[in-house]
Amino acid sequence: MAGGLLGYIFALSCIKWEANQIVSGAAINILAVGLTGFFLFEVFGFHGSSPAVAKMPLLDLPWMDKLPPFSDIRFG
C-alpha cells in the first residue's frame, strides 16, 4: 500500500505539476527513508532496526528432489 501511495505521489508530481522526474524521485525516496525510521520508532519503540522476529521452522519436502529444476539447484 505504501508503494502504491508513493507511486501516486510521484505520478501526481511529474504529470500534474510537471516536476522533474529525477528530483521528485529522489525527494520521494528521502521521504520514504525518513517515514520508515519514524514509524519504526512509533510502532516498535526502537531506533535503527526492528526487533528480531522468530524464524519459521524448516520444511522437510522429500518429493522436491524429484523435480528437475530443484534437484539440480538444491540437492546438487
Alpha helices (H) in the chain, listed in sequence order:
2-11, 21-44, 68-73
Contact 70, 64 (CB under 8 A): yes
Q: How confident is the model at residue 71 (pLDDT cuts 50, 70, 90)?
A: low
Residue 5's pLDDT is 93
Q: How confident is the model at residue 76 (pLDDT cuts 50, 70, 90)?
A: very low
pTM of the predicted model, to two decimals?
0.59
Q: What is the pLDDT of residues 5-58, one digit of tens each?
A: 999 999 999 999 999 999 999 999 999 999 998 998 998 888 887 778 788 888
Q: Which is nearest to 32 in space by CA: 51, 66, 50, 7?
A: 7
